Amino acid sequence: MRLAAALGASLLLAACASATALTTLLNANGRACYYADVDGVGEKIGFYFAVQSGGQFEIDFVVMDPNDKVILEGEKERQGDFIFTGKTLGEYSFCFANEASNTDKLIDFDIMVESEPRRVLSGSAAPLKEHTSALEESTYKLSGLLSSITRTQKYFHTRHHRNYSTVQSTKSRMFWFTVLECVAIVGMSLLQIWILKTFFSRGGRWVTRWYRRC
């Protein structure tokens, strides 16, 4: 029974956080906003984004509170990972702007809202806390480790996309450079043939004229 109660407490603690992991394609010269509700003063809000493809992997962003006060903003940022405290109840906005670019951008981002204080169970909370404190600490440690692993996976995912884009760009440049080189070689060959043909044609005419005069 104690183990079941402890597991129930850990589930309640896990329910304190809500997160949204999304991928969006932002069109050229476009703007997109996403929203998260904060229903308690002092809640921690996490915001992560990374540009996966498009142009120079740069994007403008701005985060505002329910009173339209700017909390975070940046221009031509490739990625960001922020945590701040929500001091106002209501709807927070997270906006991306691609207005200065002519290419589409693929963006991965997370919005997390987490209550800072831990929930306390009613009734048998005091005796239950003695048996669940160690489990709570282990749960939070595991949650932190999982978050770290998730961030690392996202980092490598972003690097993979960017490196792949660089490889594709280099491949395209090499292809067109090779095509231009082939065209130049063929052009030089044709030019040499024309020069040699013209030279011998004029030389033959000069020899014929000299023979007739003699």
- Which domains are present in the chain? 17-117 (2.60.120.680)
pLDDT of residue 117: 47
Give the C-alpha separation, 111 to 113, whole Å. 7
Model-level pTM?
Answer: 0.59
Residue 174 has pLDDT above 70, yes or no: yes
pLDDT of residue 193: 84
Taking the C-alpha atoms of 96, 98, 104 and 107 in order, what is their torsion angle to the nearest 10 degrees?
A: -20
What are the angstrom distances between the C-alpha of 138 and each of 53, 132, 142? 38, 10, 6
Residue 118 has pLDDT above 90, yes or no: no
Bridge pairing between strands 90-97 and 59-64: antiparallel
Non-local (6+) Cβ contacts of 93 within 8 A are: 33, 34, 35, 63, 64
Burial 48-79 (b: 16+ CB within 10 A, else e): bbbbbbbbebbbbbbbbbeeeeebeeeeebeb
Please tell me the least confidently modeled range out of 64-73, 187-196, 205-214.
Answer: 205-214
Partners of 93 in beta bridges: 35, 64
pLDDT of residue 9: 40
Higher-pLDDT residue of 45 and 201 is: 45
pLDDT band at 93 (very low <50, low <70, confident <90, very high): very high
pLDDT band at 11 (very low <50, low <70, confident <90, very high): very low
pLDDT of residue 96: 95
Percentage of the chain surpassing pLDDT 90? 20
Give the C-alpha separation, 55 to 79, whole Å. 14
pLDDT band at 59 (very low <50, low <70, confident <90, very high): very high
Higher-pLDDT residue of 124 and 14 is: 124
pLDDT band at 102 (very low <50, low <70, confident <90, very high): confident
Specify the 3-state DSSP secondary structure of 32: strand
Give the C-alpha separation, 101 to 104, whole Å. 8
Give the C-alpha separation, 205 to 73, whole Å. 79
pLDDT of residue 39: 86
Closest of 161, 71, 146, 152 to residue 107, by C-alpha: 161
The number of residues making up the chain comes to 214
Give the C-alpha separation, 154 to 162, whole Å. 12
Q: Read off the pLDDT of residues 24-37 as tens digits, 9 standing for 90 and up.
A: 899 988 999 999 98
